[in-house]
A and B are shown apart, each in its own frame.
Chain A
Amino acid sequence: MKLLQNSGLVLFIIGLLVFTGIPFSGSYQLDRTMVRDHTKEMHQDAMLEVLEPIYEKTYASNFSFIKDFNDFFNAYNEELKEEQAWDKVIWDDYAFALTKAASSGPVEDAPLLFLALSIGLAVLGGLLYTLPLYRNKPAGIKHDGIYFSSMKARGWLGIITGTYLIVFYIILYWYPEYLTNLVIMVDPLSILLSGGPASQWFLYGLIYTLAILVMGVRMFRKYKGNNYQTIRTASVMFFQLAFAFLIPEILVLFNMPWHDFKNIWPLDYSFFYEYRIEGMVSSGALGMFMLIWGIILIVIGVPVFTYFYGKRWYCSWVCGCGGLAETVGDPYRQLSDKSLKAWQVERYLVHGVLVLAVVMTAVTITNYFMEFGMLEQATNQFHSIYGFAIGSAFAGVIGTGFYPFMGNRVWCRFGCPLAAYLGLVQRFKSRFRITTNGGQCISCGNCSTYCEMGIDVRWYAQRGQNIVRSSCVGCGVCSAVCPRGVLKLENGQEAGRINDMPIIIGNESIKVKS
Chain B
Amino acid sequence: MSENTIVILGNGISGVTCARHIRKNNPNITITIVSAETRHFFSRTALMYIYMGHMKYEHTKPYADDFWEKNDIKLLFGWVKAIDFSNQELNFEDGEVVSYKQLVLATGSKPNMFGWPGQDLNGVQGLYSYQDLLNMEKNTQDIQHAVLVGGGLIGVEMAEMLASRKIPVTFLVREKGFWDNILPKEEAALVGRHIREHHIDLKLDTELKEIIGDEKGQVKAVKTSHGEIINCQFVGLTAGVSPNIALFKNSDLNTNRGILVDDQFRTNLPNVYAIGDCAEFNKPPGKDRKNIEQVWYTGRMHGETLAHNLTHEKKVGYTPGIWFNSAKFFDIEYQTYGHVPPTWENPTRSFYWESASGKVALRFLFDQEDRILGMNAFGWRMRHEFFDRAIKEGWKADRVIGQLDKANFNPEFHKKFYKQLLDKYNSENGTSIPLPRQSFIQKLIGSRSWNRT
Contacts from A to B (Cβ < 8 Å): 138-141, 143-149, 226-228, 231, 308-309, 339-340, 431, 433, 435, 437-440, 442-446, 448-449, 458-459, 462, 476, 479-481, 483-485, 488-493, 495-496, 504-510, 512
Residue of A nearest to B335 (CB): A485
Note all chain B residues with C-beta closer than 8 A to A492: 447-451
Known: A144-B164, A145-B53. A509 touches B319 (CB 8 A): yes
Looking at the assembled complex, report how far the CB atom of A437 sits from the nearest CB atom of chain B, in whole angstroms: 5
B197 within 8 A of A: yes
A146–B53 contact, CB under 8 A?
yes
Note all chain B residues with C-beta closer than 8 A to A140: 330-331
Note all chain A residues with C-beta closer than 8 A to B342: none
> A439 CA to B317 CA in the complex, in Å?
20
B253 within 8 A of A: no
Residue of A nearest to B386 (CB): A438
Note all chain A residues with C-beta closer than 8 A to B327: 484
> A107 CA to B317 CA in the complex, in Å?
82
Note all chain B residues with C-beta closer than 8 A to A505: 321, 324, 384-385, 388
Note all chain B residues with C-beta closer than 8 A to A496: 451-452
B356 within 8 A of A: no
Chain B CB within 10 Å — which of A440, A480, A496 has the most? A440
A145–B324 contact, CB under 8 A?
no
Stretch at the interface among B59-67, B96-104, B393-401: B59-67
> A512 CA to B304 CA in the complex, in Å?
7
Known: A138-B197, A433-B449. A484 touches B328 (CB 8 A): yes
Q: SS class of chain B's interface: helix, strand, loop or mixed?
A: loop
Residue of A nearest to B295 (CB): A442
A490–B316 contact, CB under 8 A?
no
B451–A493 contact, CB under 8 A?
yes
Stretch at the interface among B42-50, B124-132, B209-217: B42-50
Residue of A nearest to B305 (CB): A509
Note all chain A residues with C-beta closer than 8 A to B45: 442-444
A490–B412 contact, CB under 8 A?
yes
Looking at the assembled complex, report how far the CB atom of B40 sits from the nearest CB atom of chain A, in whole angstroms: 13
B326–A484 contact, CB under 8 A?
yes
Q: Could you give, for residues 428-453 of chain B, a 1 whenever the CB lies within 8 Å of some chain A CB and a 0 otherwise?
A: 00000000000000000111111110
Looking at the assembled complex, report how far the CB atom of A488 sits from the nearest CB atom of chain B, in whole angstroms: 5
Residue of B nearest to A148 (CB): B53
Known: A144-B54, A479-B411. A485 touches B49 (CB 8 A): no
B353 within 8 A of A: no
Looking at the assembled complex, report how far the CB atom of B337 sits from the nearest CB atom of chain A, in whole angstroms: 9
> A270 CA to B385 CA in the complex, in Å?
48
Query: Which single member of B21, B53, B300, B381 contacts A144 (CB below 8 Å)?
Result: B53
A490–B55 contact, CB under 8 A?
no
Given contacts A146-B53, A440-B335, A442-B297, 19 further A-B contacts (CB under 8 A): A138-B194, A138-B331, A144-B54, A145-B164, A231-B413, A438-B384, A438-B385, A442-B43, A444-B45, A445-B61, A480-B411, A483-B328, A484-B328, A490-B447, A492-B448, A493-B451, A509-B301, A509-B320, A510-B308
Known: A141-B331, A308-B445. A488 touches B381 (CB 8 A): yes
Residue of A nearest to B330 (CB): A140
Query: Which single member of B385, B411, B415 contacts A476 (CB below 8 Å)?
Result: B411
Note all chain A residues with C-beta closer than 8 A to B74: none
Looking at the assembled complex, report how far the CB atom of B309 sits from the nearest CB atom of chain A, in whole angstroms: 9
> A494 CA to B413 CA in the complex, in Å?
22
Top 4 closest pairs, chain A to chain B, by CB: A438-B384, A492-B449, A140-B331, A485-B381
B333 within 8 A of A: yes
B297–A439 contact, CB under 8 A?
yes
Looking at the assembled complex, report how far the CB atom of B38 sits from the nearest CB atom of chain A, in whole angstroms: 14
Query: Which single member of A145, A147, A446 contacts B46 (CB below 8 Å)?
Result: A446
> A144 CA to B64 CA in the complex, in Å?
25
B330–A147 contact, CB under 8 A?
no
Looking at the assembled complex, report how far the CB atom of A2 sits from the nearest CB atom of chain B, in whole angstroms: 12
Query: Which single member of B55, B194, B297 contacts A449 (CB below 8 Å)?
Result: B55
B448–A444 contact, CB under 8 A?
no
Known: A505-B385, A509-B308. A445 touches B411 (CB 8 A): no
Residue of A nearest to B328 (CB): A483
> A459 CA to B63 CA in the complex, in Å?
8
Note all chain A residues with C-beta closer than 8 A to B446: 308-309, 431, 490-491
B381–A437 contact, CB under 8 A?
yes
Known: A444-B45, A490-B449. A508 touches B321 (CB 8 A): yes
B448–A509 contact, CB under 8 A?
no
Q: Using a Cβ–Cβ cut-off of 8 Å, how many residues does chain B contribute to the interface with A?
A: 64
Known: A484-B326, A506-B324. A431 touches B411 (CB 8 A): no
B414 within 8 A of A: yes
Note all chain B residues with C-beta closer than 8 A to A491: 445-449
8 pairs, A vs B, C-beta closer than 8 Å: A435-B449, A437-B409, A438-B385, A442-B296, A480-B411, A492-B451, A507-B301, A509-B304
Chain B CB within 10 Å — which of A139, A437, A458 has the most? A437
Known: A140-B331, A437-B383. A147 touches B55 (CB 8 A): yes
Known: A146-B54, A507-B301. A440 touches B324 (CB 8 A): yes
A509–B53 contact, CB under 8 A?
no
Looking at the assembled complex, report how far the CB atom of A174 sits from the nearest CB atom of chain B, in whole angstroms: 37
> A309 CA to B55 CA in the complex, in Å?
30
> A488 CA to B335 CA in the complex, in Å?
15
Looking at the assembled complex, report how far the CB atom of A257 sits from the nearest CB atom of chain B, in whole angstroms: 33
Note all chain B residues with C-beta closer than 8 A to A148: 53
> A196 CA to B381 CA in the complex, in Å?
54
Looking at the assembled complex, report how far the CB atom of A148 sits from the nearest CB atom of chain B, in whole angstroms: 5
B304–A507 contact, CB under 8 A?
yes
B330–A509 contact, CB under 8 A?
no
> A439 CA to B17 CA in the complex, in Å?
14
A431–B445 contact, CB under 8 A?
yes
Residue of B nearest to A496 (CB): B451
> A148 CA to B54 CA in the complex, in Å?
9
A448–B59 contact, CB under 8 A?
yes
Note all chain A residues with C-beta closer than 8 A to B382: 485
Q: Could you give, for residues 30-45 of chain B, a 1 whenever the CB lies within 8 Å of some chain A CB and a 0 otherwise?
A: 0000000000000101
A138–B324 contact, CB under 8 A?
no
B318 within 8 A of A: yes
Known: A431-B445, A483-B328, A488-B411. A508 touches B319 (CB 8 A): yes
B384–A508 contact, CB under 8 A?
no
Chain B CB within 10 Å — which of A226, A433, A483, A491 has the most? A483
Looking at the assembled complex, report how far the CB atom of B370 sits from the nearest CB atom of chain A, in whole angstroms: 24
A449–B54 contact, CB under 8 A?
yes
> A138 CA to B332 CA in the complex, in Å?
10
B56 within 8 A of A: yes
B283 within 8 A of A: no
Looking at the assembled complex, report how far the CB atom of A141 sits from the nearest CB atom of chain B, in whole angstroms: 7
Q: Could you give, for residues 401-436 of chain B, a 1 whenever the CB lies within 8 Å of some chain A CB and a 0 otherwise?
A: 000000001111111000000000000000000000
A445–B412 contact, CB under 8 A?
no
B52 within 8 A of A: yes
> A459 CA to B448 CA in the complex, in Å?
24
> A490 CA to B412 CA in the complex, in Å?
8
Note all chain A residues with C-beta closer than 8 A to B52: 143-145
Looking at the assembled complex, report how far the CB atom of A227 sits from the nearest CB atom of chain B, in whole angstroms: 4
Note all chain B residues with C-beta closer than 8 A to A438: 324, 383-385, 388
> A304 CA to B431 CA in the complex, in Å?
42
Known: A138-B331, A148-B53. A437 touches B317 (CB 8 A): no
Note all chain B residues with C-beta closer than 8 A to A138: 194, 197-198, 330-331, 359
> A144 CA to B411 CA in the complex, in Å?
22
